[in-house]
Chains A and B, each alone.
Chain A
Amino acid sequence: KQEVTQIPAALSVPEGENLVLNCSFTDSAIYNLQWFRQDPGKGLTSLLLIQSSQREQTSGRLNASLDKSSGRSTLYIAASQPGDSATYLCAVLTGANSKLTFGKGITLSVRP
């Protein structure tokens, strides 16, 4: 059974800091990995998707990498801003029926 872990559960950083959010998964036979952002009381917004054949994807100040063999992904946020404060969830897609397994998320607070 696929398990996805995100540690730590919460993170507080000063504005302007570059930061890395980690995600690990137990079954390397994945189709893709997706990073989401969730604001309090809101739905999930897709940030980046990395296919199993890819090593990284970039969107603006965000860069996500994937090391399938070691079961790890990182989300790099450059020059963090208070508006980046949210919960970031990692999810991996496994199985023929495309089941998405989520980590519990990292709640990020960026202090002005």
Chain B
Amino acid sequence: NAGVTQTPKFQVLKTGQSMTLQCAQDMNHEYMSWYRQDPGMGLRLIHYSVGAGITDQGEVPNGYNVSRSTTEDFPLRLLSAAPSQTSVYFCASSRTGTSGGGTYNEQFFGPGTRLTVL
């Protein structure tokens, strides 16, 4: 298993450019999500998906679009990059289930994409 993979590892954009961050997982997980990590702010949820064809907004969705056409892939699109989107972006997928009468959702993270917007 490759787990959760992300490309590219590093990217520099100019203000106004658009791009897509790629995320793929080979664990057949239904739930996938995108986070950004900023110094002093911690990790914040951008968008998430509970299965193919279903997406929803997280805490900081503005300026980002997502789609989920397959179980494996969950790309994140920056429509018009701004310096405020300079961050490290992490994709995660989740193993869910029930055990001992309770529900769990264990998240596994990719290695991240470091994005700089000039």
Contact = CB atoms under 8 A, between A and B. Distances in A.
Contact of A44 (B45, B58, B100, B109): B109
B111 A54 contact: no
A102 B40 CA distance: 12
A103 B42 contact: yes
Contacts of A42: 111-112
Interface residues of A, number: 25
Interface in B16-66: 31, 33, 40-45, 48, 50, 56, 58
Contacts of A52: 102
Contacts of A34: 106-107
Interface residues of B, number: 30
Interface string B85-104: 00000101010100111111
B110 interface: yes
Nearest to B31: A98
Given A98-B31, A98-B96, A99-B58, A46 B42 contact: no
B107 A46 contact: yes
Interface of A: 31-32, 34, 36, 42-46, 49, 51-54, 89, 91, 93, 97-100, 102-105
